Amino acid sequence: MALSFGGAATQYGAMPAESRYRALFESVRIGPVTAPNRFYQVPHCTGMGHALPQTLVAMRAMKAEGGWGVVCTEYCSIHPSSDDHPYPFASLWDDGDLGNLAAMADAVHAHGALAGIEVWHGGSYVANFATRAPSLGVRSTPGRADPIQSQRMDRRDIRELRRWHLAAALRARKAGFDIIYVYPSHGYLVSEFLSRSLNERTDEYGGSLENRMRLMRELLDETRTAVGDRCAVAVRFAANGHGDEHLSEHEAHDVVAALAQLPDLWDVVLADYDEEMGSSRFVHEGALEERVAYVRRLTGKPVVCVGRFTSPDSMIGQIRRGVVDLIGAARPSIADPFLPNKLRAGRIEDIRECIGCNICYAHDYRGAALRCTQNPTMGEEWRLGWHPEHVPAGGGGSVLIVGAGPAGLEAAHILGKRGYDVALADAAGQAGGRVTHESRLPGLAEWARVRDYRLGQISRLPNVSLHLGSHMEAADVRAFGAKHVLIATGARWRRDGIGRWHAQPIAPLDAAGVYTPDDIFAGRLPEGEVLIFDDDHYYLGPVIALKLASAGVRVRYVTTEGRAGAWSQYTQEQERTQRALIELGVVIEPNLALIGFEKSLATLACIFSGRTRTVAASAVLLVTSRVADEALFRALVGEDRDAQHHAASAPSGSVAVERIGDCLQPALIAMAVYSGHRAARELGSAGPHAQRERVLI
């Protein structure tokens, strides 16, 4: 296998901004403050909150540096009775919280952006596990998931809530925030008062819509009176109501009309998170427009709304049609904190477009600092000192990367920008690895952006060459003569059923009728009655089921979990996934394990009782676990990696060999990209010392 370094590429250069996008960079007056442009990072969770303040400050500051004109906090609790542990929320309970929040506001201001804060009380939704205070509700109501009910609020409780909210607004002003929110949405406390079903009060806070919106009106009035001379007052409101049982869409219109002039800014959302921040499998860019457009017409006030906007044409279209005044973003600002600056400079091709996988939200849902498939530096701005647009210069030399999947592409991209001579080889005829395969499945087309962004970056680096159709053996790698070698050969799906449930291969297992996702990727599709055994629990099993069912295959979906694609609850996809399977006629059988398959019969066992039964199946498709394709790596280094020198200590003439991505650890695409990025950023050095946030006594 003969390869060489270098290859045709165009030099990077900024193009002038197109005049049709200039309106996106106009300033917008919001009450007493002015946003420098129309790019508005709306309040969004981070998995950082009060627990990781330095991590949070650095992340929000990066967005301001990248050109976002407004940068907001996540939900910020006003009182210990609004405690969402174990999820890391922001807090503004007393003056002790001022320092951390002021640090964020100052960091955002340093780059010329406005700082917003989402003042919040969780009501019946939260369990108050840390503070052990009773949760509060308009009536005593079960919480989100725990066997805990809220305390019914009386008049004194309402007065106390108003006092806490006012105190938090004053603290927010003292901390330096420019925009202060009132938050009557998403099922939290103020929205409980709006609900005709939950609100059973017979006083001035219950009954008619006018009475049910009284608390919302009072909080807006009191916040404006207290801080409105210097701070804008925003309201985050569900434009389509909270469902007919609580607040109908017609009533939501009436609320907007009645309170139109009270806030300086309407941040309009939808009641259903699955739709408002739905994954790209189910919700496309700008999908909220039809239901939110009326707000600006009714109020005449500035309006911001999200829509997972990555296309500047979509953004400018919403502005010109009068839907919004500000382009709201959470996920696009995570995928590329420098999206506004790149657009201003005419560098559209350099924007890392959000793929809508919702891995960011999943990490917050799991109580961890958010991560991003497209942006591996997200959450590492303070801990590792990473910048999404700057990498340190390298020490020079040659690098061979074997495997052009997500890890290999990212490594080649970063090493090229560090100045190394990089050859990227892949046995396949197309780059992208698993991303290319998976993006061809139903609903996953936008995931190809992971591949396409990196190929675009590499194409403009003359020191990076891509060699497709280039199978490499150990002898080829040694003969190539690179100083550093990164093995990114990915992983393959197991054909024996080993996974979470089975520690040993399934037996009996008629190999002739066994398929895996790799067969689907290769175009080998089973026919007849197909049983999918999903022990992976994420998107792939259900998506393959949808592909087969759409082609007329009779599909039985069996999983050891209680729901289809159970882990996708963290990415806000599970309910829609289950619904899509049902609508296509897929038979869903939860809490079962496949324990045998022969003679066109599959044996299933209940995971609780062990009871078995057989069902007809012409084929089984196993989605259980993967095996790292590390044959090339082992051929180069053997089993004793202590004999290998790391890049930082490799003597002259030796070759440093490392694994990255799924070859190292079969996992999420986001983790493969991160692995490639970290290996490339730290090549030739010991790597930065990771900083830790901890409480010291």
Strand 33-35, strand 28-30: pairing: antiparallel
DSSP type of residue 373: S
Distance, CA of 17 to CA of 168 (rounded, Å): 41
Render the burial of 364-378: b for 16+ CB within 10 Å, e for the rest.
bbeeebbbbbbbbbb
Omega before 508 cis (within 30°)?
A: yes
Q: Which of 166, 182, 217, 227 is nearest to 32 (CA)?
A: 227
Quickly count: other Cβ atoms within 10 Å of residue 505's Cβ.
12
Cα–Cα distance measured from residue 16 to residue 312, given in angstroms and rounded to the nearest whole number: 15
Question: Under DSSP, is residue 654 helix (H, G, I), strand (E, B) or coil?
Answer: coil
Give the count of beta carbons closer than 10 Å to the beta carbon of residue 144: 12
DSSP secondary structure code for residue 20 in this structure: G
Give how far Cα 586 sits from Cα of 306, 544, 567, 596, Å.
Answer: 33, 11, 19, 21
State how far the alpha carbon of 670 is from the alpha carbons of 111, 371, 407, 446, 676, in Å.
29, 8, 9, 14, 10
Kind of pairing between the strands at 587-589 and 554-559: parallel
Reading the block at residue 631, the tokens are 């044959």
| Contact predicate 289/270, CB 8 Å | no
Distance between CA atoms of residues 664 and 685, nearest Å: 20
Cβ neighbours, 10 Å, residue 422? 30
Whether residue 378 contacts residue 372, with contact meaning beta carbons closer than 8 Å, is answered with yes
Cα–Cα dist 448/446, whole Å: 5
12 is catalytic: no
- The two beta strands, 491-493 and 265-269, are unpaired
Among 188, 420, 453, 515, the active-site one is 188
Q: Measured between alpha carbons, how far is 594 from 614 in angstroms, rounded to an integer?
A: 10
Q: Are 144 and 125 in contact (CB under 8 A)?
A: yes
In angstroms, the first-to-last Cα distance of the chain is 60
For residues 403 and 477, give the distance between their C-alpha atoms in angstroms, rounded to a whole number.
Answer: 12
Asked whether the CA dihedral 569, 570, 576, 581 is positive or negative, the reply is negative
Measuring CA to CA, which residue among 377, 379, 388 is closest to residue 350? 388
Cα–Cα distance measured from residue 245 to residue 395, given in angstroms and rounded to the nearest whole number: 64
Q: Residue 162 burial by CB count (10 A; 0-12/13-18/19+): exposed, middle or buried? A: middle
Q: Are 619 and 513 in contact (CB under 8 A)?
A: yes
Cis geometry, peptide bond prior to residue 263 (ω within 30 degrees of 0): no
Q: Say if residues 187 and 242 touch (Cβ distance below 8 Å).
A: yes
Residue 81, token pair as written in the block: 């009775």
Q: Looking up tokens 């030099």, which residue turns up?
A: 11
Residues carrying an active site annotation? 188
